[in-house]
């Protein structure tokens, strides 16, 4: 996902001299093709993410379309004040790229886990929040960010997510149907955002094997969110399940809950994610997903448990 996003950014930068990439002294292996292709549109600010963001805001206010790049919480929580005061408040065209959403950097501990970022960034007025689920969505989100006025947040995985979707007719704020619910007695809707998409898809396969129909959607945009899909599923199903590699407080599931609470409908909402705890375990991403209940097996088991299977 990360490499594909950078390749898309190179393609865009070659055709738009106003696009610039600013890094906090990270990502040299993946960013080298970018600075070789467009060296005059690249800046390394050193390990100084707050300065990186403030500089990006100044560049944007002079007409540039700026992408900042770092890992985990470093481009977001570490420089939240600069994103809020320098970028979002001024509607500056700064696009914050986080590589390593969720448990990507699992072995480095909670300081490197991005598990509260969706909640925090979507709370800032006028900030668009992108959480692509695979390579296809990541490429589309980079292009959309370059074309979106104001500040955006792009939450990427790291690498190896692959291309789960062949293509998407991408529009900001639109969710994408992955599958229709098979004609079983029990049917539910399942929504996911971000790189947990493949686990969500595998969980749906397991549910179908157990005789449960699933209408599945990917939400590459968390803000603005696709209210139309949420309302339609709230009317159609008894349960909507949300899946995210993020704290369930304030994140994607909470965004869905806000729409459902004001709209009504018959569906009950069940949020699957990190249950408001800090990760105290060390391991790779797959291990931590299993430990915190968001692997494919755990998602399937939880849904079957709620349905009384």
> Catalytic residue positions?
49
DSSP 221: E
Say how far apart CA 97 and CA 206 lie, in whole Å.
33
Q: What is the token pair recorded at 289? A: 């997903």
Tell me the residue length of the chain.
309
CB atoms within 10 A of CB 294: 25
In angstroms, the CA 70 to CA 58 distance is 19
Residues 272 and 293: beta-carbon distance below 8 Å: yes
| CA dihedral of residues 247, 249, 254, 258 (deg, nearest 10) | -170
């Amino acid at each position: 996902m990360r490499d594909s996003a950078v390749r898309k950014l190179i393609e865009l930068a070659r055709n738009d001299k106003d696009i610039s990439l600013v890094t906090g002294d990270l990502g040299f292996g993946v960013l080298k093709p970018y600075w070789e292709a467009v060296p005059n549109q690249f800046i390394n600010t050193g390990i100084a993410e707050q300065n990186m963001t403030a500089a990006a805001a100044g560049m944007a206010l002079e007409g540039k379309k700026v992408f900042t790049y770092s890992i985990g919480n470093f481009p977001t929580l570490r420089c939240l004040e600069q994103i809020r005061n320098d970028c979002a408040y001024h509607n500056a065209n700064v696009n914050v790229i986080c590589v390593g959403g969720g448990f990507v950097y699992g072995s480095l501990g909670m300081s490197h886990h991005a598990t509260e970022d969706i909640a925090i960034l979507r709370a800032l007025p006028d900030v668009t929040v992108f959480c692509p689920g695979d390579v296809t969505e990541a490429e589309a989100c980079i292009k959309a960010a370059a074309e979106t006025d104001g500040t955006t947040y792009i939450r990427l995985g790291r690498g190896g997510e692959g291309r789960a979707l062949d293509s998407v007719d991408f529009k900001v704020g639109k969710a994408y149907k992955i599958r229709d619910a098979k004609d079983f007695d029990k049917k539910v809707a399942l929504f996911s955002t971000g790189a947990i998409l493949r686990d969500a898809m595998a969980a749906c396969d397991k549910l179908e094997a157990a005789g449960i129909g699933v209408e599945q959607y990917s939400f590459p945009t968390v803000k603005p969110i696709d209210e139309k899909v949420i309302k339609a599923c709230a009317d159609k199903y008894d349960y909507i399940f949300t899946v995210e590699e993020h704290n369930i407080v304030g994140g994607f599931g909470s965004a869905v809950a806000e729409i459902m609470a004001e709209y009504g409908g018959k569906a009950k909402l069940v949020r699957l994610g990190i249950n408001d705890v800090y990760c105290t375990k060390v391991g790779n991403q797959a291990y931590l997903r299993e430990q915190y209940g968001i692997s494919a097996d755990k998602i399937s088991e939880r849904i079957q448990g709620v349905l009384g299977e």
